[in-house]
Amino acid sequence: MSPTKKRIYLSPPHMGEWEQVYLREAFESNWIAPLGEHVDEFEREVAQYVGSRGAVAVSSGTAAIHLALCLLGVKPNETVFCSTFTFVASANPILYTGAAPVFIDSDPGSWNMSAQALQRALQDAAIQNKLPKAVIVVNLYGQSSDMEAILRLCTQYEVPVIEDAAESLGATYQGKASGSFGEYGVFSFNGNKIITTSGGGMLVSDNLEGLEKARFLATQARDQARHYQHSEIGYNYRLSNLLAAIGRGQLQILDERVARRRQIFAHYQQALKEYAGIAFMPEIPEGRSTRWLTVMTMDEDVCGVSAREMVESLEEENIEARRTWKPMHLQPLYAGQPYYSHERSVSVSDQLFSQGICLPSGSSMTDEDIDRVIDSIKKRLWK
């Protein structure tokens, strides 16, 4: 470890000019909590940005996924399909409802849900008369899934789609905002996401009735009565007015953040693409990725170094890189859950996990920072 070199983080928060202005406004009006005008405005602005009819601001992306499952009526002993190649927060809300997940592999062209694996899973489920109550499609690392193929299948089997767009706010697919394709879309404003409120999430939909129900469930499911009366189980999932104030400031500069992240990706790719054994996450033909994180794969046999070893040697240079997500079907928590690989004998996500590495991609990185990461990578490749 070289303590003299400043640390380069994977994806740190990057504030703009308006966050503090909105925060001060909230303080001065004493609308610290609960809710308040910034929450209403933040919901309206996110809905407008993604082109959905409405939005509900909540305390996390995980909470938004849980609410979406509740709204779709997912119950114990039912099943929900979910991308295997993702962060555990995509799948855990399935367990909160008492349902069980079935995991679906990635497509090599998008790294997101494989339509051909999904098709086999749906066919089998239809034969067993156990179609899932929902499909959670995850859009990783700033990129939409191939929603056309996935929606065609889900429409055919009449299964609603939840889009986990926690990592893809700002991306588009066929010119439309990622997160606006499913029955419900989910965003996260956790600290490492492309914009952040320090913690928070958003549920978006064209189904205004569903969103009204989400608001109800997220505020302890309090019935319309003069006293505290409850007929259903509820949750404490709303976003605070202060965090919504930060979110409004962040949303104003989202497009700049996307542009910078794409530049950072291009910089890495330009410098490293000639190296045998290195490849970058592909961009799907009909999509525009935010490149939230620059992710590359390293073939150990060609590079002479594994993704794991590369992450370790970058750490010695005080650079924070990370492995790609460990697929859910490989997690001890989900041992024994059904899994559909892309081809019967080829699991794409297993390979992406063993070879993938996420490089520092924060929009506040300087070009010198990027060059430092690139030099450290090259140094290790030559060893």
Ligand X SMILES: *Cc1c(COP(=O)(O)O)cnc(C)c1O
CB of residue 299 to ligand X, shortest distance in Å: 25
Which of 103, 71, 88, 69 is CA-nearest to residue 347? 103
CA neighbor of 61 nearest in space, from 247, 254, 190, 217? 190
Nearest position to ligand X, beta carbon: 61
- Least spacing, CB of residue 87 vs ligand X, in Å: 4
Which residues from 178-217 bind ligand X, rule CB under 6 A? 188, 190, 201
Q: Which is nearer to ligand X, 73 or 191 (CB)?
A: 191
- The least distance separating ligand X from the CB of residue 89, rounded to whole angstroms, comes to 4
Q: Is 60 in the site for ligand X (CB under 6 A)?
A: yes
Question: Is 43 near ligand X (CB under 6 A)?
Answer: no
| 11, 52, 79, 90: residue in contact with ligand X (rule CB under 6 A) | 90
Segment 228-267, which members bind ligand X (CB under 6 A)? none
Q: Which is nearer to ligand X, 65 or 115 (CB)?
A: 65
**Nearest Cα to 205, choosing from 186, 178, 177?**
186
Nearer to ligand X by C-beta: 272 or 327?
327
Among 42, 87, 173, 184, binds ligand X (CB under 6 A): 87
Cα angle 142, 323, 366 (rounded to 5 degrees) comes to 60
In angstroms, give the least distance from the CB of 61 to ligand X. 3
Q: Between residues 192 and 306, which has the closer beta carbon with respect to ligand X? A: 192
CB of 65 to ligand X, least distance (A): 7
CA distance 154 to 233: 29
Cis amide linkage into residue 34, ω under 30° from 0? yes
Q: Which stretch binds ligand X (CB under 6 A): 83-91, 303-311, 339-347, 360-368?
A: 83-91
> How do 201-205 and 54-58 pair as beta strands?
antiparallel
Nearer to ligand X, 185 or 372 (CB): 185
Q: How far is the CB of 306 from ligand X (least distance, A)?
A: 24
Beta-bridge partner residues of 186: 164, 203
- Residues 319-358 touching ligand X, rule: CB under 6 A, are none
Q: Is 89 an interacting residue with respect to ligand X (CB under 6 A)?
A: yes
Residues 358-377 that bind ligand X (CB under 6 A): none
Q: How far is CA 209 from the centre of its chain?
A: 25
Binding residue for ligand X, selected from 52, 84, 86, 337, defined by CB under 6 A: 86
Please, which of residues 112-141 interact with ligand X by CB under 6 A?
138
**Whole-angstrom distance, CA of residue 248 vs CA of residue 256:** 14
Query: Can you tell me which of 52, 62, 241, 290 binds ligand X, judged by CB under 6 A?
Result: 62
> Least distance in Å: CB of 167 to ligand X?
5
User: Residue 87 or 268: which CB sits closer to ligand X?
Assistant: 87
| Count of residues that interact with ligand X, criterion CB under 6 A | 14
Instruction: Report how far residue 188's alpha carbon sits from residue 139's, in angstroms, rounded to the nearest whole number.
Output: 12
Nearer to ligand X, 54 or 61 (CB): 61
By CB under 6 A, what part of segment 5-34 binds ligand X? none
| 182 vs 201 by CB, closer to ligand X | 201
Q: Which window, 4-12, 49-57, 58-66, 153-161, contacts ligand X (CB under 6 A)?
A: 58-66
Residues near ligand X (CB under 6 A)? 60-62, 86-87, 89-90, 138, 164, 166-167, 188, 190, 201
